[in-house]
Amino acid sequence: MISVATTERFPTRERPRRRNAVDLARADRAGAPDADPADARDAPRERSRASDRLRILLVEDNPGDVELVRGALDEERADASLLHVERISEAIVRARAGACDVVLLDLSLPDSGGLEGARRLRAECPDLPIVVLTSLEDDRLAAQAVAEGAQDYLVKGRIDGALLVRSIRYAVERQRYAESARQLAAERSARLAAEAAIAALRASENRFRAVLDQVHDHAIFQLDPEGRVASWSKSASLLKGWSPEEILGRRFDCFFPPEDVARGKPGAELLEAARVGHTEDESWRLRKDGSRFLANASVTALHDEQGRLLGFVKVTRDVTGRRRTERNVEFLGRATHELAQSLDPRAALEHLAGMVVPYLADSCCAFVLAEEGASCELVASACADPAKERLALEAARGFPVGPWPTFEVIEQLWRGEPVFLPELGEPELRAMARSEDHLELLRSAGLRSSIVVPLRARGAVYGALTLGMTQPERRFDLVDLELAVDLGRRAELAVENARLFEEVQRAVRVREDVLAVVSHDLKGPLSVIQLAALSAARMLDKAGGGDPAIRHQVDSIQRGVRRATVLLRDLLDMASIRAGRLAIRTSQEDAESVLAETVEAHEALAREKGISLSSGGTAGLSVECDRDRLLQVFANAITNAITFCRSGDRIDLAVAGDGRFATFTVADTGPGIAEDALPLVFEAYWSGARQAGHGTGLGLFISKGIVEAHGGRVWIESRVGQGTTLRFTVPIAAA
């Protein structure tokens, strides 16, 4: 039956009826037994389950057309309810409230005309099927409405019950099919997107695995939450030795040494990573073959969005080589420092042998080759096992041809090339042996691996460093060879420095001997010349002054003798200072009297150049010094100051006591010394640009030696244009 709802419902009389298209459409949308359940679930709009009727919304302002539609539905015995409104705005309100399943829409309404009403309704309810009602002359407009989304259109003058019901059914079905098509399209798009995402994920995984496979020094793999291996990379196989088939599903405890497993380190590592997110440590790990390597291992916990633990990512890096290199660099640094401390070639080699054992080798011997290379002398040896060290010494004494296996090896050493013997078996030992007794000694020493490094000096090989390995599980490798060669170079430098030092010492001794001989031999002739000049001067004085020209020559001779005497004294002092044999005879001296004597000795020369010379100091200050040597220091300092000061400048002498030492000062207002020259002023023979042609340059060097022989120190402060101050200290005399 049909109910028309505007302000009331109008039931029709009940009579048997057949199931028509509207009933089928209603059953399809309501999930009736003969409807497809999937279609019911895919229906574009849900209508109320309180009624099984198809709800039709009629939007029509002409009462006659309303009755026409109701009559047509009644004629077909349609089990439907008809809701009537006259305006499109009312229709939109009802449609948005879900009050209808299909709309019959007139295109000529009071609040909309033409396609405006259909467009507004579709904009608000895009899934609601619409059947357009139009007049005869509006066919083109109705066709345009269908093109824009209406399901069908009916001409009002040609409507009958069957046509109306069929059109409603088709509208509902087409809308349902359109919705199903959209859902299928959406599902297909989603499926394609999912497949694309899966493909992209697989490609990303393949790329990631390819990257992992290129990492050869890092073992990267995954563990499940219980610590079982869940993934295994190629780099992990290369580093640890297990194939994926062997390791997947096993607990990662097998990577740890037994002692770490016994104290629960693997489990503690995972617990810590799960708690804080990441852990890292550096300790020993095991390979499949049982060999150990030093590893830097990190564990990172993996969690899902809800914070549940998914597993762990473990990254293991073999740092054995790196740590070995670091230790070797540290060892070379220590060796270089220690070798530099010795200036005796044999002592340097002995110290080196002691450092090599046991860090690099079990035994180390240093040999010096004879000129012909057929024999050698053992100069240093060290062995981890004292018993084997005695065997090495016995072999060296009994067979002084050295440890060279063949003459070809000897030639290799003479060319400066190292000899690398990583494995020494019975054949190699027999080749090294010079006799059966020698072979027995070599066997007793237990030598299993050897390196021989030549020692060179000035381009020629003078000796060799022999390293031996006796432990069964140890053998030399190329890293050991590189370290031994580097160590040999450092030994060469140390020995060469020691030899150069010896040569310098010999040269210094020769120079000192020459200076001593020359100065001693020159003293006699100078004394004769000085006495002759003094006698000539006295004779001239007795003769009333004599010829002025002769007097001038005699004075010149006396000045030359005095200068030569000072020069000889300086040379002897320099030699004594360098030899550490400068003699001083100390006594308690009054500091002020030393200053007064200094001023008296140099006042005339200072006055001659227009320079003021004065002194001052602490009264009653006594110092422990060699008075003559102290006056020599003042003489050197004041002579320099007078030489370079200008007329009108001032030279001030002072002394002050400070605890254990008295500080003497010689300050002038002269031109000063350049800053870059200050570190050089106490060097022997240095005179600088300003002193070119003035003296030998030994004065301040000797002054420094004299002060240091007293246990004091000396230094200079100077600024260009502001003058120079020399200070030195000597001990204060005990009360």
Question: What single-letter DSSP state applies at residue 154?
Answer: E
Pairing between β-strand 130-134 and β-strand 102-106 as defined by DSSP bridges: parallel
Whether pLDDT at 267 is above 70: yes
Closest to 631 (Cα-Cα) out of 588, 582, 596? 596
Q: Rounding to the nearest 10 degrees, give the CA dihedral for residues 706, 709, 713, 719.
A: 20
Report the alpha-carbon distance of residue 142 to residue 146 in Å, rounded. 6
All residues at 6 or more sequence positions from 14 whose CB lies less than 8 Å from its CB, including other chains: 1
The whole-number average pLDDT for the span 635-653 is 91
pLDDT score for 570:
74
Question: Mind listing the pLDDT tens digit for each residue in 378-437?
Answer: 788 888 877 776 766 666 555 444 444 456 666 777 788 888 888 877 887 777 776 777
Whether pLDDT at 9 is above 60: no
Closest to 301 (Cα-Cα) out of 269, 338, 274? 274
Closest to 241 (Cα-Cα) out of 228, 251, 255? 255
**Burial letters 605-634, b for 16+ CB under 10 A, else e:** ebeeeebebebebeeebbbbbbbebbbbbb
Question: Mind listing the pLDDT tens digit for each residue in 481-532?
Answer: 999 999 888 888 888 888 888 888 788 777 777 776 776 677 677 777 877 8
Domain boundaries, the chain: 2-185, 215-318, 331-577, 582-731
Whether pLDDT at 193 is above 70: yes
Whether pLDDT at 142 is above 50: yes
**Burial letters 190-210, b for 16+ CB under 10 A, else e:** eeeeeeeeeeeeeeeeeeeee
Lookup: tokens for 16: 């048997």
pLDDT score for 617:
74
pLDDT score for 164:
83
Least confident of 47-61, 62-76, 97-111: 47-61
The whole-number average pLDDT for the span 432-454 is 77
Whether pLDDT at 3 is above 90: no
**What is the DSSP annotation of 557-588?**
HHHHHHHHHHHHHHHHHHHHHHHT------EE
Least confident of 25-39, 44-58, 302-316: 25-39
Report the alpha-carbon distance of residue 583 to residue 585 in Å, rounded. 7
Question: Mind listing the pLDDT tens digit for each residue in 22-47?
Answer: 443 444 444 434 444 344 334 344 44
Closest to 584 (Cα-Cα) out of 711, 733, 714? 711
The whole-number average pLDDT for the span 258-281 is 93
pLDDT score for 144:
86
Name the CATH superfamily housing domain 2-185. Answer: Response regulator (3.40.50.2300)
Average pLDDT, the chain: 80
Question: Mind listing the pLDDT tens digit for each residue in 158-186?
Answer: 777 788 888 888 888 887 887 888 888 88
The whole-number average pLDDT for the span 283-305 is 90
Whether pLDDT at 228 is above 90: yes
CATH classification of 331-577 is 3.40.50.2000, yes or no? Answer: no
Examine domains 2-185 and 215-318 and report if their fold is the same.
no
Name the CATH superfamily housing domain 582-731. Answer: Histidine kinase-like ATPase, C-terminal domain (3.30.565.10)
pLDDT score for 14:
39
All residues at 6 or more sequence positions from 369 whose CB lies less than 8 Å from its CB, including other chains: 375, 376, 402, 413, 461, 462, 463, 464
Whether omega for the bond prior to residue 358 falls within 30 degrees of 0, making it cis, is: yes
Share of the chain above pLDDT 90, in %: 22
The whole-number average pLDDT for the span 2-20 is 38
**215-318: what fold?**
Beta-Lactamase (3.30.450)
pLDDT score for 35:
40
Three-state secondary-structure class, residue 90: helix
Closest to 691 (Cα-Cα) out of 683, 658, 298, 288? 683
**What is the DSSP annotation of 528-564?**
HHHHHHHHHHHHHHHTTT--HHHHHHHHHHHHHHHHH
Q: Read off the pTM.
A: 0.47
pLDDT score for 34:
41
pLDDT band at 669 (very low <50, low <70, confident <90, very high): very high
